[in-house]
Amino acid sequence: MSTARVTYSETSEPTPIVTGTVDLDSSVVTLLNSIPGITTLAKLVEIDPVELNASSRIDYLTALERQTAWLQALMQRAIIAVAGNEPSVSNGDDIFFGVDEAEREDVSTALRLSAGTAQSRIDVARTLVNHLPNTCSALATGDISLAHANVIAKETAAAIRDGLTEYQIFEVEQRAIAHAEFHTPAQVASQVRTSLARIAPETFEDTVARARDTRRVSCYNDSDGMSTVVAILPAADAQVVMNAIESFIRLTGTENGTATEKADADNFFSIRANSASDSMSIKDVRSIDMKRADALTSLAATFLANNVDSYKPHRRPVTVNLTIDLPTLLGLSENPGILAGYGAIPATVARELAADGKWKRFITDPVSGELLNLGRETYEPPQALIDFLTARDRTCRFPGCRQPARVGDIDHAKSWDTGGETSISNLGVLCRRHHRMKTHGGWELKSRGDGSCTWTSPTGKIYQVPARPINDAA
């Protein structure tokens, strides 16, 4: 298999940059679009970002990130030069992974890393340089960051070890690199898992089945009066737990920072004022993580207090959003399902979930792609439209945000007050923070019916969010 070749650019004296804000701003745009290398880096070093306008400072930051990616590509080859292409001590017959003894210690000592972190760096570098040439090239040209390259390497390593072909590796790489243009490393990781599930469904099925047998809940006592509860669950079950927690928070009126006082003795989550005031609410200063922790305790306490005899295991009282194509649902195909908030799951697991579910069918206009357009007739969208938006967007529409759509706000991109319509093309899901940022923070949003949108920051920078195929990971 071919490997990527990463080289230094020719060294030259930095081109003098004329002082003055206009010339500096123009120079940054040019450098942003230049191939990363020593010459470009030297020119960037000569610029003081404080002297740039607001928009050019963003460009300068982006240009430095591209340079960092180029340097990190060189770093991967340097690590391989120190540690070698293969482990010095293999795990049995497996030469793909192993333990590097002296080599690992060299890397850990030189870079001031722990032995475990150094070994991880070596494993990732070997995967990138030996098996992912296109990812290496994209890193060297600054098209992706090191974080993106790391997740591509880590998510594909096992599949490569199991015999993924060069063409399959190429296909996974190309999709991942294209996805990285508009998405965070975590989103790229989810996309890679989806690609691998489609390319090798049998292997994916076996991996998930083996992992399911490792599910567990553990409790560890800490020394500060706290305990740590760790739950390792199948993705669908984890979604049920988190949905129940989030629903509990909303039902108790605490999602917006205020807890409503309730007299119900079964409500262990209520916050009571000590004063004799007849005020119905008090300010809740807890973080969202604290609220989730309290909600989990309250759910368990409520169940124990009520001791429901009619409890039926494996029933799902809260919504789990699953997307599955009709041939797979009927057993005619083995395409992975897409679990909202997680990503790809095997076809057998998707069918199992579907067997106990209530289905919603979304039929769109063949020309416009719109499900329903209420125009200016009403501000509040009907439930069918809300369900469609939740399924289409899956997460908040702000770039990189992964807050689930099920707990977000339905937003008019063009506000109702300024003539915006209640339609698929003008509606979308935003988390509360980004909704407020759009309304009060100076950010502008233009929306399209396929779910794609364009954000413009207060500095004038434009960020594109592409449409998300309904059968792909968010």
Q: Which domain holds residue 96?
A: 21-199
Does 115 fall in a domain?
yes
Q: Which of 18-22, 138-142, 230-234 has the lowest mean pLDDT?
A: 18-22
pLDDT of residue 275: 31
Does 27 fall in a domain?
yes
- 127 with 276, same domain: the answer is no
Place of tokens 């979304």: 362
Q: Residue 282 is inside which H or E element, if any? A: strand 281-283
Task: Write out pLDDT tens, residues 340-389.
Answer: 767 788 888 888 777 766 666 655 555 554 555 555 556 678 887 888 88
- 55 with 176, same domain: the answer is yes
d(CA 52, CA 36): 21
Higher pLDDT, 102 or 109: 109
Q: How many structural domains compose the chain?
A: 4
- 177 with 52, same domain: the answer is yes
- 145 with 294, same domain: the answer is no
Contacts 24+ apart (CB under 8 A), 434-440: 434/396, 434/397, 434/398, 434/401, 435/408, 435/409, 435/411, 437/398, 438/411
How far apart are the two ends of the chain, measured CA to CA in Å? 32
Produce one character per residue of 276-303: b if its CB has 16 or more CB atoms within 10 Å, e if not.
eeeeeebebeeeeeebbebbbebbeeee
Average the pLDDT over 305-329 and give the result.
Answer: 60
Does 343 fall in a domain?
yes
Does 409 fall in a domain?
yes
- 331 with 403, same domain: the answer is no
d(CA 272, CA 275): 9
- 81 with 140, same domain: the answer is yes
- 259 with 181, same domain: the answer is no
Helix axes 54-83, 21-32, angle to 10 degrees: 40
Does 178 fall in a domain?
yes
pLDDT of residue 420: 86
Average the pLDDT over 199-219 and give the result.
Answer: 84
* Contact assessment for residue 249 and residue 292, using Cβ atoms and an 8 Å cutoff: yes
Does 313 fall in a domain?
no
Does 245 fall in a domain?
yes
Higher pLDDT, 123 or 261: 123
* Contact assessment for residue 135 and residue 175, using Cβ atoms and an 8 Å cutoff: no
φ, ψ for residue 430, nearest 5 deg? -130, 145
Q: How confident is the model at residue 320 (pLDDT cuts 50, 70, 90)?
A: low
130 CB-contact burial (10 Å; exposed 0-12 / middle 13-18 / buried 19+) = middle
Place of tokens 């449409």: 467
- 298 with 327, same domain: the answer is no
Q: Report the C-alpha dihedral over residues 317, 323, 325, 326, rounded to 10 degrees.
A: 20
Name the residue type at position 130.
N
Does 279 fall in a domain?
yes
Q: Which of 38-47, 174-183, 349-358, 460-469 has the lowest mean pLDDT?
A: 349-358
- 72 with 97, same domain: the answer is yes
Higher pLDDT, 114 or 67: 67
Higher pLDDT, 472 or 375: 472
According to DSSP, residue 215 is labeled: -
Q: Give the Cα-Cα-Cα angle 132, 133, 134 (nearest 5 degrees).
A: 95
338 CB-contact burial (10 Å; exposed 0-12 / middle 13-18 / buried 19+) = buried
- 177 with 37, same domain: the answer is yes
Task: Write out pLDDT tens, residues 375-424.
Answer: 555 667 888 788 888 888 888 999 988 888 887 889 999 988 888 888 88
331 CB-contact burial (10 Å; exposed 0-12 / middle 13-18 / buried 19+) = exposed
Name the residue type at position 201.
P
- 419 with 395, same domain: the answer is yes
